[in-house]
């Protein structure tokens, strides 16, 4: 699938370096790696603002939809409309739903149907794929 924002691997690497992204951000966002649980900078981050794609800056989540799922990754109950594309993921012997940025295709994490809010969803994201903008 093509996305509005396209770059070469070298351009993605340079962009993430220029943004001083977390180590591993390139592997997470461009190659669907996963950061270790309880290690990401946004796992226990509760400031008011919005979360954006680390690669292209697209707004993905409002801080009011973030909750503590106890899973070790930042979790959200609701993505902004049209911000996230979902894909079937059958890696690692499981069937899951991968989430990618609809604007640039960056791997963000997965969404699960076990959230505690009225949406019933838990968007389980990698901190390395996110950038936070305070209000």
* 8 A C-beta contact, residue 41 and residue 127: yes
In sequence order, what DSSP letters do the residues of 88-121 get, joined into one string?
Answer: EE-GGG--EEEEEETTT--EEEEEES--SSTT--
The whole-angstrom separation of Cα 71 and Cα 31 is 22
**How far are the Cα atoms of 19, 48, 125 from residue 110, in angstroms, in the given order?**
24, 23, 7
CB atoms within 10 A of CB 119: 15
**Eight-state DSSP code of residue 129:** G
The residues annotated as belonging to the active site are: 124
């Amino acid at each position: 699938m093509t996305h509005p924002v396209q770059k070469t691997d070298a351009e993605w690497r340079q962009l993430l370096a220029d943004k001083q992204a977390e180590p591993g951000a390139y592997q997470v966002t461009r190659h669907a790696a996963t950061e270790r649980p309880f290690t990401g900078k946004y796992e226990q981050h509760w400031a008011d603002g919005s979360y954006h794609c680390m690669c292209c800056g697209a707004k993905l989540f409002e801080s009011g939809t973030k909750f503590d799922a106890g899973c070790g990754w930042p979790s959200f109950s609701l993505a902004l409309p049209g911000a996230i594309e979902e894909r079937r993921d059958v890696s690692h012997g499981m069937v899951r739903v991968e989430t990618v940025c609809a604007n640039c295709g960056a791997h963000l994490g997965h969404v699960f149907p076990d959230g505690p809010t009225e949406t019933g969803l838990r968007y389980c994201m990698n901190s390395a794929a996110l950038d936070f903008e305070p209000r």
